[in-house]
Amino acid sequence: MSKEAPLSVAERDFILDALHQNVRLDGRGLDQFRPLSVSFGNEYGHVKLRLGKTSLVVRISAEVTKPRDDRPFDGLFNIALELSAMGSPAWENGRSNDLEAYVSHILDRVIRHSNALDTESLCIIQGVSCWNIRADVHVLDFDGNLTDAACIGVMAGLQHFRRPDAVVKDGQVVVYGVEERVPVALNITQKPLSTTFHSFDEGKTVILDATRKEEQASEGELVIGINNAGDVCFLSKFAGDPIDALFVVNKSNVAQEKVKEINAMVDKVLQADLARRAKKGMAEEAQAENDREVSPNDPFV
Amino acid sequence: MRTGQPRLGSQNRIAAYFAAVVSDESVRECFAGPAAFPILPNKRVYFARNRGDGEDKEEVEAKVQALGVTATSKYMGEQWLVHVPGTHTRSATHHPQKNCVSNFVTFTTRHQATTTFIMVGPTASLAPLYRADGSSSYTCPATGYELLGAVNAPVELPARRDALKPEEATVEVFVKPGTTTAGVGERYVEGILRSVLATVILGREKGLPRRGVVITLAIVGGEDVERGDSYLTLLPALLHTSLLALLSATVPLSMTFSATLLGVTKSGIIIPDPSAADAKAMASLHALAFSSKGHLLLNESQGRFEFDTWEAVRQKALAICQNTAVSADGDVSMAEGAEGAPLHDFVRETVEDQVHRDYPWKIDAV
């Protein structure tokens, strides 16, 4: 199978008729995200994200490489999204498809090209060595709105990730292990996220965070990449029916509200996780004694 | 199932090589001395608390800390799973109860809240994903790997029509590394996995010929295999994940199997399940898989070793997988080092658990 199973006529009509009365099948409002849950794994930069039934894992990794010749001051950052048959039976392993190219493009534009991660801070020695930050997105379940989910996941991962400390000593790069020196957080300049809207009814109804079925029934889509301050860093209306310019303005405001909400939510989870790590780390450091059995009769206790 | 005991969350239960239901007092005894719970290195202890009195994370950790133990807790299923870093215990002296699924050890309970000791082997769950036909997640605490497996079967493989065999299903395996792009190492391990799984899958059953069985394995947690390193340390985990995913997708199989990794140190000591770091220091590494009928399905080794060493490794592996080793004096002994339940039971219990969860109405009716 290389295509998602198409919607049946009855199913499509049902979705459209319901939307005609401003009702969505899962009972959400038109401008409402599905329940979002973000959690972090054991390693730094390991994010598990679930948006409704869409779920993915993002892993951030870093290695030292040589910078590009035309950009000797910049580090490297790339986002790797590879769709495998795990996310949907319609995707074939080892073959890229349209969705993969489309989502990768949006992630590139929203996160990479907006300079959300300051790549200049990744430079170690000009023209010789720099950090290469890599974000891997593993799609586990696909139920619509992959772009927004992946965007939130990658941004959360970048904020959570800590790279090993590297120092230049006599022209030599020394990379310290996580145990030797406190690992360094990445320099995040802004937190842009994408929000995807789908239009129905010749652009009269526009919904946020469509499920897979809603995506299939939709007439057109609009992606707005925006940060907390309301700076639009990406706006696209690739295909589909035209929508009113006023909608774009209105929806940008909605998008900004949503991005603020999501960023606040991610931040809360992030702080909780970092606090937990700090507490654990300090307890281990403060412990001077070796592992041994402590008997109640021990005179030193 | 035993009645009258709190039912362990499935994640915990399958993980349990043994467990003991003890009161707060016994926990103190366990950690205090060898009387109740002998302490040995190299095994982690987890213990889970029933959430009976509605306590939250902080409360659980505070209670455990009051016993003089630092611990981190995690809410799993119906219980708190509390991990005590640096704690060690041994299972050999505990006597598993005959009538329970896992090897539980019961201590007298004096309080309402019960505490359960669990020694953690691999943990797995079936069908964690929505879209794939069958899926499984697998965590190996010894090596720290977290794997996800998905199976789609039977599916059309339109792009490879010429490569399809007319009389049986085509098995496709795809290994997706966590933080790199798939390369030669992944292609190689895919080949090994495919050859093992193809012998087990009944590809000539109705509906399977000329279709594909697509198995996707993603390494979602734990360190990556370095480029150029072999996948030997991950092989048993990958095999278990794919087997459980196949079972979850109800792909017809001729038999199940279990696999294990053994390392031989330079002084000739056989160590089961070495971590990735330990594996580097080993003189030789051996990954072996045995079918449910005891056939050797997979034998991958690396390093220098003699045939006698390999034979010893094979016997140990068989003991770990099947628990039916015949020792020199002819006794059928419990596998030492296998810590109670054999790996084969682990696969069985994971599925059993899922069935209990999926068909309670049917089981109750019987």
Task: State the pLDDT at residue A280.
Answer: 72
Residue owning tokens 């499984």: B136
Task: State the pLDDT at residue A288.
Answer: 58
Task: State the pLDDT at residue A256.
Answer: 95
Task: State the pLDDT at residue B121.
Answer: 66
Encode pLDDT of B111-125 as tens digits: 333 334 444 567 888
Encode pLDDT of B200-223 as tens digits: 999 999 889 888 999 999 999 887
From chain A, the residues in CB contact with B70 under 8 A are 283
Asked whether the predicted pLDDT for residue B335 surpasses 90, the reply is no
Size of interface A-B (CB pairs under 8 A): 92
Instruction: Return the residue of B nearest to A287 by Cα.
Output: B70
Measure the CA–CA gap between B263 and B281, rounded to whole angstroms. Answer: 9
Residue owning tokens 């309402």: B112
Encode pLDDT of A29-65 as tens digits: 999 999 999 999 888 999 999 999 999 999 999 999 9
Task: State the pLDDT at residue B66.
Answer: 54
Task: State the pLDDT at residue A284.
Answer: 59
User: What are the C-alpha distances in Å from B172 to residues A87, A198, B156, B191, B211?
Assistant: 16, 36, 12, 9, 11
Grade residue A241 by pLDDT with cuts at 50, 70 and 90. confident
Instruction: Return the residue of B nearest to A133 by Cα.
Output: B179
Whether the full predicted model's pTM is greater than 0.80, yes or no, is no
Instruction: Retrieve residue A123's tokens.
Output: 């430079």
Encode pLDDT of A5-38 as tens digits: 899 999 999 999 999 999 999 999 999 999 999 9
**Closest C-alpha to A63, from A48, A45, A86, A88:** A45
Residue B126, φ and ψ in degrees, nearest 5: -100, 150
Encode pLDDT of B319-328 as tens digits: 888 876 444 4
Encode pLDDT of B136-187 as tens digits: 999 887 677 899 999 998 998 876 666 677 889 999 999 999 888 888 889 9
CB-nearest partner of A89 from B70, B132, B180: B132
| ipTM of the prediction greater than 0.85, yes or no | yes
Task: State the pLDDT at residue B52.
Answer: 43
From chain B, the residues in CB contact with A284 under 8 A are 85
Task: State the pLDDT at residue B324.
Answer: 60
Task: State the pLDDT at residue B231.
Answer: 87
Which residues of chain B are at the A interface, by a Cβ-Cβ cutoff of 8 Å?
32-33, 39, 68, 70, 72, 85-86, 129-133, 135, 144, 146, 148, 150, 152, 155-156, 158-159, 172, 174, 176, 178-182, 214, 216, 218, 220-221, 224
Contact A140 B218 (CB under 8 A): yes
Contact A142 B131 (CB under 8 A): yes
Encode pLDDT of A77-113 as tens digits: 999 999 999 999 999 888 888 999 999 999 999 999 9
- Taking every pair of Cα atoms in chain A, the longest distance, rounded to a whole number of angstroms, is 83
Helix axes A245-286, A146-160, angle to 10 degrees: 30
Q: Minimal Cα–Cα distance from A258 to chain B, Å? A: 26
CB-nearest partner of B221 from A42, A87, A89: A42
CB-nearest partner of B158 from A2, A86, A293: A2
Task: State the pLDDT at residue B248.
Answer: 93
Contact B33 A293 (CB under 8 A): yes
Choose from B74, B84, B125, B131 for mutation: most chain A CBs within 10 A.
B131
Contact B148 A296 (CB under 8 A): no
From chain B, the residues in CB contact with A87 under 8 A are 131
Q: Judge contact between A147 and A101, C-beta under 8 A.
A: no
Task: State the pLDDT at residue B32.
Answer: 34
From chain A, the residues in CB contact with B133 under 8 A are 89
Angle (CA) A290-A293-A295 rounded to 5° is 125
Residue owning tokens 């045995």: B290
Encode pLDDT of B272-302 as tens digits: 888 777 888 899 999 999 998 888 999 999 9
Measure CA B189 to chain center.
19
CB-nearest partner of A143 from B86, B130, B180: B130
Encode pLDDT of A183-239 as tens digits: 999 999 999 999 999 999 888 899 999 999 999 999 999 999 999 999 999 999 987
Contact B150 A86 (CB under 8 A): yes
Q: Minimal Cα–Cα distance from A246 to chain B, Å? A: 37
- What SS3 state is found at B141? coil
Most confident of A128-137, B47-56, B58-67: A128-137
Task: State the pLDDT at residue A232.
Answer: 94
CB-nearest partner of A141 from B32, B130, B180: B130
Encode pLDDT of A150-191 as tens digits: 999 999 999 999 999 999 988 888 898 877 888 999 999 999
Task: State the pLDDT at residue B6.
Answer: 35
Task: State the pLDDT at residue B10.
Answer: 32
Q: Minimal Cα–Cα distance from A42 to chain B, Å? A: 8
Which residues of chain A are at the B interface, by a Cβ-Cβ cutoff of 8 Å?
1-2, 41-43, 46, 53, 55, 57, 59-61, 80, 82, 84-89, 92-95, 134, 136, 138, 140-143, 280, 283-284, 291, 293-296
Task: State the pLDDT at residue B163.
Answer: 67
Q: In chain A, what are the domains?
A: 12-290 (3.30.230.70)
Q: What percent of chain A has pLDDT over 90?
A: 75
**Mean pLDDT of chain B, nearest integer:** 69
Asked whether the predicted pLDDT for residue B110 surpasses 60, the reply is no
**Closest C-alpha to B257, from B219, B297, B316:** B297
Instruction: Return the residue of B nearest to A141 by Cα.
Output: B131
Contact A85 B150 (CB under 8 A): yes
Contact B216 A85 (CB under 8 A): yes
Measure the CA–CA gap between B40 and B37, rounded to whole angstroms. Answer: 10
**Mean pLDDT of chain A, nearest integer:** 90
- Number of neighbours of residue A206 by Cβ within 10 angstroms: 24
Measure the CA–CA gap between B73 and B61, rounded to whole angstroms. Answer: 7
Task: State the pLDDT at residue B226.
Answer: 75
From chain A, the residues in CB contact with B36 under 8 A are none
